[in-house]
Every structure is written in structure tokens, then in C-alpha cells.
Chains A and B, each alone.
Chain A
Amino acid sequence: MTTHPDPALREAPAVVPQGGPADDWAHGVDTVPQAVETPDELQPYAELGLRDDEYDRIRHILGRRPTQAELAMYSIMWSEHCSYKSSKVHLRQFGEKAPPSDRLLAGIGENAGVVRVSDELAVTFKVESHNHPSFVEPYQGAATGVGGIVRDILAMGARPVAVMDPLRFGAADHPDTARVLPGVVAGVGGYGNCLGLPNIGGEVVFDPCYQGNPLVNALCLGVLPVDRLQKKEAAGPGNVVVLMGAKTGRDGIGGVSVLASATFDEGSEQRRPSVQVGDPFTEKLLIEACLELYDAELVVGIQDLGGAGLTCALTETAAAAGTGMRVWLERVPLREPSMAPHEILASESQERMLLVVAPDKLEAVLKTAEKWGVLATAIGEVTPPAPDGQPGRLLVTWRDRVVVDVPPGSLVDDGPVYARPMREPADLILLQADRAETLPRPSTPDALRETVLRMIASPNLADKTWVTEQYDRYVLGNTVLAQPEDAGVIRIDERTGLGVALSVDGNGRYARLDPYQGTKLALAEAYRNVAVTGAKPIAVTNCLNFGSPEDPGVMWQFAEAVRGLADGCLELGIPVTGGNVSFYNQTGAAAIHPTPVVGVLGVLDNVADRVPMGFVPRPGGDHDQLFLLGETHVELSGSEWAWVTHEHLGGIPPQVDLARERQLADLLAAAARVGHLTSAHDLSDGGLAQSLVESCLRRGIGVRVVLPEHFAGGSMPFVFLFSESAGRALVSVPRGHEKAFTALCAEHGVPWEFIGVTDPAGGALEVHDQFRIGLDELRGAHTATLPRLFGGEETAQVAVEATRTGTATVLPATAEQPVDVDPDAVAAEPIARAGAADGGATTEGQPDATAPAAAEAGPESADADNAAETGDVPVEAAAAPVADPASDDVDAPEAAPTSTEAGPDGSATATGDPDQPAAPDQR
């Protein structure tokens, strides 16, 4: 079968349907009777993205050819973006492998997952992509990305309370990045700020693979009383269908099937009109109006209009209820009166919601809308299912002509499902063999110092204040932690202090090297970021950004990623509550790195217990003890260091052990609760060095770090500082709490290592026997990069919390906790090296040869206080061997120049270069 180009559609049909107004152009409207009479009319289904067999299937469902409007509806509803036709077979695992949860009030398939966090309150959160529109028109693409996800959250009955934005761009110094990034950031800020939603975190990542295909993902968090949960069912025949919000215009027509499912090529500029334009003011009014309607119990069902506009909202609400619907399309308020029916149905004009309302409530609904100055129009009514029990039909007329008559479920549920061919990319085995562990490493103090400065100034690790200060993080007055903290923390109940923590993370490089592990690593990082605040992780959302599913290599990556996420969530015991898939992220034949972005939500019973990431000033200038939790292996493949210094991507990503992540999270929550932690910071990109620098610069507190024995010598100090081993966190513990804290570590089976002290007066990051870098120099290196790349005054401020002398009080943003101040010990203590309680491991506490005797002011000095605070943990507990056989394997590099490491497949390879110690343990 051949197809006509578009103009064929505009030809006047041979038979003019009877009735209707006689305006000329209206004669071109294709009606159902006409479709019956002209079965052989050629239709441009291929141009609309439908395959031959898909078109045949539509004809089979309808028993005739579709009308022009119907064809448009099927083409967008059956597009990859709306139908998930390539991903469905894989996404099922999220349900099949879901751990049992009594918190889940709404899950996958709803507009957003809803999780109960207390008897009265629930939260809903979801992340979605707006990648393609943001490349074409960065500001509006990003702005409407925020708008879209906010409406998803609103549709669940929740008040949106925060947003986050994981962003990925091409190379930081590429000219087009200078076009895309400022526009995207301004768009995210412009929409979110005007909506009054604090932006509490996200990511800004640069990699050449995103050059022609930036990733703009947006996450929204909402809060609702559990009994306000809304449904999308268009239940109750006779109920009125109301369209509320902005007028419908020509923006975004075909946006879903053309923009969201097409790769970029030279013609992309011509598609600009397809990108929607946002109006955050109308969305703000829409939010307030909807919330008032929910509270007055005036709506039966509600659905936001997003991708596929009215088509999606009408069919999904009807299909969900099994009812039919009768819609008078000419009642839809239009921005442009000349719009044809198929345009009205396909339009993706923003800021619209579809309500289902009982007839006796209609007046009250319209009144509320009027109060908020929002348009609300009854455009149809719910009709009963067929007498034989079959679902009802969606009947749409336009000026008395039937333009659509379809079973709604056929668009929503009966779309094509493909098990696309999958094949491991041919280059993967070679890529994995090219390990970063074999690259030359800095091995002198000077080289290490230079590496630290270079790394913290590299675009991915550099301070992101240039971006984040364009976002309002204060509005609504409940932001307890926001970027650059590991996770955003929002208070959701002022009375009880109940709050939630949220983090979104992804690492395309890891996923490129191993999509299964890479996805687990993204999950682990988000989970850990939530855990370091002291919150208990409870639910997961995700945005899966991939290349073309028609490429078997990409499809394999996708399948592996989904398997990794589903397995990971099962291991962590937290369910996936919803998500989004974005395919076709590629330019020409080149796909982006597979980029699963994972969001984890945690709950904090009292946000006052949250732990910040930065070191905090202590009363009397006291020193906190620094502990590194978890194990550091020689894991450099896929690392930021390999990329920045060698432009290297190869090998296998760090190993991830989710049982360990769980232990770490449990430990952090327990320690936060009893006030053992003054700060906690996740280790991920850039390793320990990055975490130390960020924690120092947050409030301008210096540190003195001692290298553990087994990381002294050769390039091991480098490994200690830059390895990206998972499952680690840097914590600071007030003096007097060490003993109890390490006992708690032992109890939770978490390996720990004392690595130094904070040094408020020192004003530097000092690594003993290696280097010392003043905080000003660190700050200069860390903060200059983005302003240099994207413009801004020379006075670009640091992400340091402002401090100043003066008469008013500055409150350190620290968790309140009891502190024992011993002025004598403070004065006498240059560096205290606590004894490691890890009896079986090589990490046991050897007094540092260079540490003066005053180092005894370690854990032992405060036994009595600790016992009281931790519920009397016996000293034996602290000394008990950590249940961690692996820690035995931590190499002393000089002693073990040759080691054997097992690849992920169990095969072993030997490395024999004494200067390049192999990964000590790659389980």
C-alpha cells in the first residue's frame, strides 16, 4: 500500500457530508460516514509514524478506514512515546519483581506513584523526560517539561511541593552547549520559579555523547492527605466532561509522534513550531483551582493533558472506567478558530486538565474555576458501556459531524507491543577489556595535588552554583536541604516535622560499560544519597533515556538496564512506583550512552534529625572525627578521573553490592537518630577527594586527612582519593561519639576507617605526607569553571553558605546534637587517629607514626558518655570483627605486586605491574 503526502488530506472529498455549517474549509473535514463510503482513500499513515501492519490493525479494529482525526489519534497513541510498545515487555519486571510494600497507594500505570508516609499523608513523585523539545527550543522545551510533570503530580490529588532536574549536555566547551544549557536552565527556573516550587536538586552532567541530544529530565514531588487520592476513571454515565485551563492552540501538534519519536537531523529547525509554549501563571492557577476542587470533593475523576493532549486524556479516562464518552469538539475553547478536529484532538497546548464531574456539581466546579480565573468548559459527557457489557465508545462530533467513533481501549491498551531484537553491542567486549586501571596514575604528592585541583574544576565535578542559583529553593518555606546537598529534604508536616528526602542520579558512562551494573549503580547512588541525610529510602522512580529501540544494541542495553533496576529494587526492598521511557535519543546512527536516571524517595520522621553533607563549625572550634564508611577498591574504570585526565572510557564499572548499601543506609539512619553524625556525604563521581572538597567548601571548614596504612605508597594515595567504589560515605562524628559510632558500624556490618579530623582553624584540605591546599585555592578552582564557560560576573559566589560577622546570629545548618567539649583535648590535638575496631582486617588502628601522643584523645576518652547515648553498647561490640571477609583482601600494594582479579564473568586475569596494583577484590 502506498501513501499520500499530506496535501492529499486537504483535497475536498468527492462526497460532501450532509448538514453542518457551509464554510468552505470545513468541507475538508473527514467524517465517519465518509470513511465508510471511501474505503480506498489513501492515508498518510507512514508519515505519521505508523507501520503497514499497524495501519491494517486500525482498519481491523474499526471495520473501516480511520477518519483523518482517528488516524491522528491512533498515530500518537500508538507512538513509542505514548504506547511504550518497545519497552512494555521489559517494564513488566518492575511489577513482577516488586518487593511487597504496604505503602504503595498507586503504582505503575497511574499518572504517578503514590506512597503512604504516615497515617494521614502520602507523597507522589515521578520523573519524566523532555529531551527532544529541549534540543529544538531549550527554554520552552525545558519549561514545559517541568509543567508536564507537575500536572502529573497534580492529577493524583497532590499539591506539588518541589521539583528536581537531572540535566545532561554535550561537551561543556562545545559551542552548542552554550546555546542549549543557558536556555534549559532558564526554562527550568522560569517555569518552576513562577509556579512557586522550590528546586531542591538534580544533576548537571556533560558528555560529548549528549551533544546533539541533551537530556532534560524533570522530577516533581507532591503531598496529599491519603483520602484525597484522585482517580482518572471517567466513571458514572451522565457525568460531565470538563476541560479546564488554557485554551487549545496549534502548539505541539504532532509533537509526540514527530518530535518525541524522531531522531535529530538537519531538518530539525523546521520543527520548532511543534514545541509547546509554557504559561506557568496559568498552571499556578490551575493548581490552586484543582486543589480547591479536590478538597470540596467536586470531581469524580481527573487527568492531566500532556503528550497526545485531549486524545490521550479522553481515551485514558474512558478506558480506565470501561465507559464511553460523547464529546462536542467545537466546544473546546480555541486559541485559533481555524483549527481542524484532528488538530484539536492532537494539540499539546499546556496547562490543561480534564475533569469528570457529577452534573449537580458542575456549577460549583465552574465557580471555583472562575474564582481562580481559569477557563472551564463542559465539552462532553460520560456514556454507558454497551448493553452487552463491552466497554463504551468514544464518539466525537465536530459541528454535528461524527469525526471519531472508536473503542477508547483500542488506543490505550490495544496498541502494538514489540519484542524487538536485542544483541549485545559488538564493541562492548573490547570496551570492557580496555580497563582504566591500567592508565598511568599520579604517584607523587605534587602530581596528586595537581590532580585534585584539576578534577574539582572539571565540568562534571565543578561547583554548579551558576545553574542552581537560577532556581528558587526557598519558596513554600519547607526546604530543609537543597542542592548541592546529596539529597533534597522537604518538610511535609510542620506540626510533626515529618519530611521526605529525594535524590536523582544516573551515570551514563557506567551504564555504557555495563547497563545492568550501571543501572544498579545509579540506583545505589540515589539510595545512598537519600540515606546519608538520615532518611529511610522507601520508593523508586526512573527515567530511562536510551537510543533507538530499533537498534538491537540499544534494545539490549535497555533490557539490561530494566533488569538491573528491577533486580536492584528487589534486593533493596523498595518498589518502583512509576517512571518514563525516552527512546530515540540519538543523532544519526550515534546513540547516547544508555542513561537510566533513578530517583529514590526516603522518609524522615523528623526533619530536624537530617544530616547535612558539609562539615560544620563546632562549639569552641572543636574537631570532628572523619570516618570513611565502606570499602575502597582499585576501581577506576568509567571514573571521572579516567575521563578527565585520559579521555578514557573502558573497563567494567565499580562493583555494586546492594546488601552492603542497605547495611550502610541502616547504619546512617540509626547514627543520625542518636546524633552521632554532624555531616555525611556520599562518595561517587570523583571519589573521596571530591567529597572531601565539597564537604570542606560548604561552610569553609578545613580537614586534616591521614592515609590508612594500606593506601600509603606509590599510587595508592591516588586510589584512595579517586577510586569510585560504591557503597561508601564520608561522615564526621563529634568527639566523644566515636566509640559508640564505630560500635554501631560493627553492629551493622559496615567497614569503617578513621581518616582524620576537621580543622576549622586550619583553612585547608591537608592530606598528611601528601599535600595541603588552602580552601581559597580549592574554592577558586571549584567555582570558576561554569561562570567561565557560560558567562557571569567575576564575583560568582560559592555554594558556601554565606557567613559574616555582625550582630545577628548565623545558624549552622547542622543537626542539633549533644557535644562534649574538652578544651584541653582540643588544644592538644593535632590529629587523632582512632583505633579501628575491625579486628579481622588489615585496617586495624595503628597509631600514626607522625601523630603525637595526644592522639589518645580518640574514642577511649569518652566511653562513659557514649554508653549513655547509644543505649549502652558494650565495648566488645566495637571490637568484634566486622562481618566482612572482603576487607581482608585490601591489598598492601608493595606486599602484593601481583594479584588476581576476577572479571564479572568469573574469569580471572593477572596483572603484574607493581605500580599498577590490580583491583584487590572484584567480587
Chain B
Amino acid sequence: MTARVGVVTFPGSLDDGDAARAVRIAGAEPVRLWHGDPGLHGVDAVVLPGGFSYGDYLRCGAIARFAPVMETIVDAARGGLPVLGICNGFQILCEAHLLPGALTRNQHLHFRNRDQILRIEAVGTAWTNAFQPGQEVLIPVKNGEGCYVADPATLDRLEAEGRVVARYLGGNPNGSQRDIAAITNEAGNVVGIMPHPEHAVEALTGPSLDGLGFFTSVLKHLVGAPA
């Protein structure tokens, strides 16, 4: 049976269509979820897409975390539902305390869009099991507030527990501490990533096909996951 992967649309979500396309290209069925509807409609995994939810005029993701759908997602994530937060989705996951730390304004204060090399460091998560440890991938980054920060103890713990999922290589685009591009929770089912794997899934429109691995990973994870 085809896996069903939910993609949430908040007001101001922008990459929701792209996330749904990536899910489809990876071989799963995208299911569009609406911020105001707490129902998850039987999805096997959820993607929180990029964008500017509620305009992000307050702290990014600060309002989205209170959306009705988020209450359900937070509970389900604690129960093991695979959740991938991309860019704004990562910010929302931090605001919802599913992931530690915060994403702040890029150090250079500009929005930055470039093709970024990442090193995948944790391949045990629901969203990165298709990669090799240390694999380098090329994925677009585009954000204004993607500078990952946390207190030193948290950073040390993330490192010690192997929860730094990906790091920037060849230049840190936003000043993130320890070049962190993506992290996961303790269980490895929730991943937040600042760059945009959904924009590296087609030869025609992306710099590589490397982003597809995130979406095929979750399918692999679901097949192996206990029912």
C-alpha cells in the first residue's frame, strides 16, 4: 500500500506544493492537511513545509505552533509519527518544543538563497536512512532566519547523541552554531532541516536529486516500522 504523507498548509505556507510534489516523486501519496483542521486523515508521516506562516511578523513559527493541526501533530510525533520540518517547518518544530534550540535571523541579516553542500551526519532517523554516513549532498538553502542557536549544553548533547543530522559544508550560509543545518529528536522520528530538500528532486528544476533521499527515507522507515 502506498504510504500517505501529509503536507500541512498554514496561511503563508509557500513550499507546500513543492513538498507535496517531492512526496509524489518519491512514490508516496501526498495528503494536504489544513492548519485549522486538527484531523490528520490517517497519514503515515507529516511534512511541515517552508514559507512564512502567518506572515512570521512575530518570531518565525511562533503563531503556527498554536494552529489546531499542530496540537494533533505534536501528540502524534511524541507517539512516533515521522515529522519533517523544512525551513519554516523547522522553526515551527522548535517553537512547538519538539526540537531544541531556535532559529534566529541570519548573522549577515540578509535573506540568502544558494545551492548549499551539506554533510549528512545522522542516518538513523526516519528521514535520512537512505543516505550514507558522511554523505555530501547539494540542496538549496533559502531563508532569512535560519541561524540555528542553542545553549552550549544542548549543542553538546545533540552532538553526543548523534542528533546533528546535517551540517553546512563549504561556507555557513546563515551563521548557524557549529554549522548545524538539521537536527532530530531523541527518537529520530522528528527532523528539522533549514535547507530545502523538496527543491532538489527534479533534474530540470533543482541543483541535484539529492533531496529525494529525505522522502524515500521515510518510506523505507514506514515499511520497517512496527504496525
Contact = CB atoms under 8 A, between A and B. Distances in A.
A120 interface: no
Interface string B123-159: 0000000001001111010101000000000000000
Nearest to A607: B204
The SS class assigned to the A binding surface is loop
B210 A472 contact: no
Given A279-B55, A802-B116, A805-B136, A470 B111 contact: yes
A808 B137 contact: yes
Contacts of B137: 806, 808
A470 B112 contact: yes
A430 interface: no
Interface in A420-475: 468-475
B110 interface: yes
Contact of A808 (B17, B115, B208): B208
Interface stretch (A186-194, A322-330, A631-639, A865-873): A186-194
B14 interface: yes
B15 interface: yes
A186 B52 contact: no
A480 interface: yes
Contacts of B144: 193
Contact of A474 (B21, B55, B113, B138): B113
Contacts of A470: 110-113
Contacts of A475: 14-15, 18, 50, 142
B172 to A, nearest CB: 9
Contact of B117 (A802, A809, A813): A802
A118 B110 CA distance: 39
B18 A373 contact: no
Contact of A801 (B15, B51, B207): B207
Interface size classification for chain A: 35 or more
B202 interface: yes
Interface string A284-308: 1100000000000000000000000
A146 B6 CA distance: 32
A850 B178 CA distance: 54
Contact of B11 (A281, A469, A472, A809): A281
B114 interface: yes
B52 A810 contact: no
A373 B11 contact: yes
B196 interface: yes
A476 interface: yes
A608 B203 CA distance: 9
B136 A480 contact: no
A195 B55 CA distance: 9
Contacts of A282: 55
A810 B208 contact: yes
Contact of A472 (B113, B204, B207): B113
Interface string B169-190: 1110000000000000000000
Contacts of A807: 132, 135-136
A802 B115 contact: yes
Interface in A795-812: 795, 797, 801-811
Contacts of A471: 111, 113
A469 B136 contact: no
B205 A491 contact: yes
Interface string B41-61: 000000000111011110000
B52 to A, nearest CB: 5
A477 B138 contact: no
A758 interface: no
A802 B136 contact: no
Most chain B CB inside 10 Å of its own CB: which residue of A472, A477, A480, A810: A477
Contacts of B142: 193, 472, 474-475
24 contacts: A194-B52, A281-B54, A281-B56, A285-B11, A470-B111, A474-B140, A474-B142, A474-B206, A476-B18, A477-B18, A477-B202, A480-B204, A797-B171, A802-B117, A804-B117, A804-B169, A804-B170, A806-B117, A806-B135, A806-B137, A808-B138, A810-B207, A810-B208, A811-B206
